[in-house]
């Protein structure tokens, strides 16, 4: 990036954090391109990250960021199915609550929905999805080609961000050095390895970021599910369902409203939040020996509808309820194994 262009952009960033004074999409694209390509010296990179840290990315800035990341990411081929693959960013881990994000992917795979997780290979001491999925034989792919093979053969893949977009991985790694998040963390939430053909499951922990992500989905036309995250991961709080929205081609639809009332106590969750305890509970849930919390059943229905398993939301709710009832209550009839190859309804 030319020095004068960088100075112009940094002056804009330093003047205000308001939406009207934000970078336009092209300036954001050029700045983030330089950041992803390693084109900024350390001093300038640190200045840009610091300036962005004290702002909330505008819609235009998110569009420019997304464009820059997409141009530098490898692409997965679409699986041979009528359903769109579900893309699940997994960059956090359990801190005080069990990380139930992998359960959604495992349930969807069981129903024949193609699922791709992408994220880091370490959880900074927390029970990350990558560790839990290992317990089920879902190993991280070393390359995009390996992820493509895993998706074809197993219906599910875990693609490390370092293999998907090396520049993004390098920016994410700066959090450990600088002690602050940067725009790469937002980019990871909206990245689709299928070049826009997948459905992104995105979450955010604050209302303002939920609003900004919603504006991005509408402006970009990206297909996605959006909900309040649980400890940074995009799965519904098992104690109280958040609002879950579906975006597609610029249209916005609320699939579930936020559950009213106080946070409930939920019996039967994992006894501990470590990897082994969480994986053991998930295995029990999948084999019919543990109850799947209702908010996750609701989210499962949203996923089925969003990817095209069925084109009717009420039917998606019914299918998810049957799945949860059959898989999650001791003594009930388990679903026939052939159902995993169910064809979508359209």
- Domain coordinates in residue numbering, the chain: 3-71, 77-346
The predicted pLDDT at position 89 comes to 97
Cα angle 78, 318, 151 (rounded to 5 degrees) comes to 20
Compute how many other C-beta atoms are within 10 angstroms of the C-beta atom of residue 71: 11
3-71 and 77-346 share one fold: no
The predicted pLDDT at position 219 comes to 97
The predicted pLDDT at position 1 comes to 64
Cα angle 104, 153, 155 (rounded to 5 degrees) comes to 20
Cα angle 84, 86, 91 (rounded to 5 degrees) comes to 155
Phi and psi at residue 4, in whole multiples of 5°? -65, -40
The predicted pLDDT at position 271 comes to 85
The predicted pLDDT at position 323 comes to 87
User: With respect to CATH, is domain 3-71 assigned 1.20.970.10?
Assistant: yes
The predicted pLDDT at position 46 comes to 87
Helix segments in 37-143, DSSP class H: 42-53, 59-71, 101-110, 129-134
The predicted pLDDT at position 9 comes to 79
Low-confidence ranges of the chain (pLDDT < 70): 1-4, 14-21, 123-125, 326-346
Distances (CA, A) of 182 to 49, 54, 185, 270, 283: 6, 9, 6, 32, 36
User: With respect to CATH, is domain 77-346 assigned 3.30.70.960?
Assistant: no
């Amino acid at each position: 990036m030319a020095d004068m262009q960088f100075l112009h952009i940094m002056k804009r960033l330093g003047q205000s954090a308001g939406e009207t004074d934000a970078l336009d999409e092209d300036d954001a694209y050029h700045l983030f391109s330089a950041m992803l390509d390693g084109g900024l010296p350390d001093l300038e990179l640190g200045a840009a990250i610091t300036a962005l840290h004290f702002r909330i990315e505008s819609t235009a800035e998110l569009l420019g960021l997304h464009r820059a990341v997409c141009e530098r990411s490898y692409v997965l081929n679409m699986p041979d199915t009528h359903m769109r693959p579900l893309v699940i960013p997994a960059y956090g881990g359990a801190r005080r609550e069990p990380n139930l994000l992998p359960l959604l992917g495992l349930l969807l795979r069981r129903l024949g929905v193609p699922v791709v997780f992408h994220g880091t290979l370490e959880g900074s001491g927390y029970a990350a999805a990558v560790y839990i999925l290992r317990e089920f034989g879902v190993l991280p792919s070393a390359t995009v080609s390996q992820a493509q093979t895993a998706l074809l053969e197993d219906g599910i893949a875990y693609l490390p961000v370092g293999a998907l977009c090396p520049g993004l991985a390098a920016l994410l790694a700066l959090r450990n050095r600088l002690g602050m998040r940067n725009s790469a963390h937002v980019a990871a939430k909206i990245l689709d390895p299928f070049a826009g053909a997948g459905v992104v499951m995105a979450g955010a922990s604050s209302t303002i970021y939920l609003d900004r992500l919603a504006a991005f989905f509408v402006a970009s036309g990206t297909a996605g599910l959006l909900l309040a995250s649980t400890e940074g991961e995009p799965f519904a709080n098992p104690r109280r369902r958040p609002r879950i929205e579906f975006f597609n081609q610029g249209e916005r639809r609320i699939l579930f409203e936020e559950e009213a009332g106080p946070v409930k106590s939920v019996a039967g969750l994992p006894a501990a939040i470590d990897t082994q305890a969480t994986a053991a509970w998930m295995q029990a849930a999948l084999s019919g020996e543990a109850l799947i919390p209702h908010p996750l059943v609701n989210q499962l229905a949203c996923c089925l509808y969003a990817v095209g398993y069925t084109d009717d939301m009420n039917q998606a709710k019914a299918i998810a309820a049957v799945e949860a009832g059959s898989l999650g209550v001791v003594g009930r009839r388990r679903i026939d194994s052939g159902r995993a190859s169910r064809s979508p309804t359209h």
